[in-house]
Amino acid sequence: MRITHLELLHFRNHKKNQVDWAPHLNVITGPNGAGKTSLIDAIHYLCMSRSFVSTSDMYVTYQGESYFFLKGDFTGEIRSEFEVSCTYSRGEGKKIFVNDGPLDKLSDLIGMVPVVVLSPDDKKLTLEGPAERRSFLDSFISQISVGYLRDLIDYRRIRKQRNTLLQDYRGPQNMLQMYLEPWNKQLVETGSRIIAKRYEVLENFKEYLSRDYAMISGMNLTTGLEYQTFCEASADPKAIEEQYYKELEATFEKEVEREQTLTGPHRDEIIFYLDDFELRRFGSQGQHRLFALSLKLAQLHYYSDELDDLPIFMLDDVFGDLDLHKTGILLKALQEHSGQTFITSANPVPFEDFVTFDGNRNKFYSVVDGQITERDR
């Protein structure tokens, strides 16, 4: 899957702009704050219906304006050509259109154009709390499984209803149990499916991760990954359901006391290891960086094998951190990946040694003050 043309109106620091993209490698350079990341963030909007940088639609609107508009032309193997556009205005919120037809739910967009983003923020993945890793995993699986995304949305809703019941209920406990029962059933069914899917994907993902870590680090450390949930995980939801019901029963009193749902995939954790050491506790800065990088490369390679259409790969300002040797390895990996790639970089990177910018398959852009020019190299 790739984007051939992008139009932006009032998006971040682009007042009005359009770009034709190359099918393979697109390198965007320019000084800090020129609008490089904004360009790929716009593409991210058209793939995932949100920014990968900012948490609010309002903050990505051009200063002083009340709306933004984005449009992209995509082509791929399964759907030959289609157009995705996104509008946001302060009054009406966000809407996504595919070939001019509005989508009922923003979530319907996810998975249409799979995308993998490497950014300086990735270090949070291994350094910070479990929520970061769950959200990585959720966005990972949602792009390859519509059913998973649907279960996630349902699960969140069911948990919210259940929590409200636990918080607001005043009365005898046996009645509460009866009121909880309809929610328990759905919590267990969707929750078990989520755990089973996470387990299944992570089991396959392990191999990709260790391969990519070895490639990028050039070292013989073995990566490990342990998926932790409240029960013995399995790829079979039915096997989880039984344990789930038991656990709900066992924690009932604690749930009443704490007034919230305590059992389920919303409390899962993934532990990363290098050899036998837990990365989060013992990893060096450099190891964290390389681990995060290999997580994203592994995601790219996993998608490439799993999906009929290659994902779009974005690297936002990641070369500044890497030594020359690692840069070489990463660029070589990008050369081998035949999908479309976007690279933003403030510092000059020795791309010429690895890539020929013919202005056709690979293009080189420079962005200065929101002005985009394609350059010959």
Q: On the CB side of 240, how many CA atoms lie within 13 Å of its CA?
A: 27
Tokens representing 333 are: 């990996």
- How many angstroms separate the CA atoms of 3 and 211, rounded? 29
Residue 93 or 182 with smaller CB distance to other proteins? 182
Using rule CB under 8 A, residue 102 touches other proteins: no
Least distance in angstroms from the C-beta of 163 to other proteins: 8
Using rule CB under 8 A, residue 373 touches other proteins: no
Which residue in the set 168, 276, 305, 336 belongs to the binding site for other proteins (CB under 8 A)?
168
Q: Which stretch binds other proteins (CB under 8 A): 13-21, 156-164, 248-256, 325-333?
A: 156-164
Total length of the chain: 377
Using rule CB under 8 A, residue 165 touches other proteins: yes
Using rule CB under 8 A, residue 105 touches other proteins: no
- How many angstroms separate the CA atoms of 363 and 85, rounded? 24
Residue 195 or 322 with smaller CB distance to other proteins? 195
Residue 23 or 111 with smaller CB distance to other proteins? 111
Contact by Cβ (8 Å): 316, 30 = no
Compose the 315-354 pattern: x for residues touching other proteins by CB under 8 A, - for all others. Answer: ----------------------------------------
> What single letter denotes the amino acid at residue 165?
L
> What single letter denotes the amino acid at residue 40?
I
Q: Which stretch binds other proteins (CB under 8 A): 37-45, 117-125, 152-160, 283-291?
A: 152-160
- How many angstroms separate the CA atoms of 77 and 42, rounded? 22
Which whole-number Å values give the CA distances from 277 to 132, 220, 224, 296, 363, in the listed order? Answer: 20, 14, 9, 21, 42
Contact by Cβ (8 Å): 298, 211 = yes
Using rule CB under 8 A, residue 158 touches other proteins: yes
Using rule CB under 8 A, residue 177 touches other proteins: no
Q: Which residues bind other proteins (CB under 8 A)?
A: 145-147, 150-151, 154, 157-158, 160-162, 164-165, 168, 179, 181-183, 185-186
